[in-house]
Homo-oligomer: A and B are copies of this chain.
Amino acid sequence: MIARTTAKPVQAPVIALDVMGGDAGLADVLAAADMAAERYPKLRFRLHGPQDRIAAELARLPRLAAAAETVHTDEVVLGTDKPSQALRRSRTSSMGMAIQSVKDGAAHAAVSAGNTGALMALSLVSLRTMKGIDRPALAALLPTLKNDSVVLDLGANTECDTENLVQFSIMGAAFARTVLGLDRPRVALLNIGEEELKGTEEIKEAAALLRSVDLPMVFEGFVEGDKIGQGNVDVIVTDGFSGNIALKTAEGTGKLVTGLLAQAFRSSWLTQLGYFLSRGALRALRAHLDPNAHNGAVLLGLNGLVVKSHGSANIRGLANAIGVAHDLVVDNVSERIAQDLANFSARRPHTPLESTVAEA
């Protein structure tokens, strides 16, 4: 029997927004918030940034103005700041204050397009990991041939032990249930082979543990890098080093192929005509792979939600990241994760893990 979670939905979600993060600039961040406010009429905002400039934009955005309060600060975490520098401004910068709003209970989630390293450090220090979680993980959606898949960790932890991987699996499944709307997401560990013998000890032990307990997921064992794009699993779990490498390699290869494709179409007037005739379908292909459609990486496992928007996201991409935060808050994903973790630790095998591995 699978333990079902019964987390109560949050009725009036509040998002703390770092209006100074990322390359887009304050006006675009607020335009994105306005777009999200249109999509989710119950959503409320705490806007962290310079009051005068925010007020000037809000004068043009009455819908957002009605849903927002401004918390003034002139201080900013720069893209080049080291985490240690960001931590010194944890209570005074727009990013730090957005996270502080979550900590204080004034907001349910923080959204920032700023410096990832700084955001992770500030979030971890301010919010701390939830009970049962040793380290947070950064999770995001990746396009596949079928539906999107969740991948985590994408770089919060360069090295992971067995317990981390199990916790990431539980968090990733909860995330997929909310964001992908799945009842029992298929979860797999990223590995260098699909056979039980492959991979590090940590991965083999994590697989044995995940097989041993009935969780609200279908545990599919191992998946290799070339299967990520196929969409046959919903959640792909790995350490932050491999996850970051996989995500960025996928990004880079996508650009490589589309770059070569553009070269191919430019090669003669015949291929240019071919491009012209196919452009509608090619636009759909681009839309399918568009990072803005998959924007919003979530730091899971803390006492409060933090969503990282891609630094180069456009207004629609930023609005999507805010949408991800909205959905996770309304669905009370933190509460679901806490319940799944409690269920797991009540049911996990108490025999030494070696014997579990041997039996598998």
Contact = CB atoms under 8 A, between A and B. Distances in A.
Interface residues of A, number: 64
Contacts of A192: 155, 158, 240-241, 244-245
Interface string A271-313: 1011111111110110011000000000000000000000000
Interface stretch (A69-77, A227-235, A334-342): A227-235
B145 A256 contact: yes
Contacts of A193: 117
Interface in A203-255: 224-230, 238, 240-242, 244-255
Contact of A255 (B155, B229, B268, B289): B229
Contacts of A289: 257, 260
Contacts of A277: 270-271, 273-274, 277
Q: Sorted from nearest, which 3 A-B pairs have the closest CB atoms?
A: A225-B248, A274-B278, A229-B256
17 contacts: A143-B256, A155-B192, A192-B241, A199-B241, A225-B246, A225-B247, A226-B249, A226-B252, A229-B252, A230-B252, A238-B245, A246-B246, A249-B253, A253-B253, A261-B282, A264-B284, A267-B284
Interface of A: 82, 117, 143-145, 155, 158-159, 190, 192-193, 197, 199-200, 224-230, 238, 240-242, 244-261, 263-265, 267-268, 270-271, 273-282, 284-285, 288-289
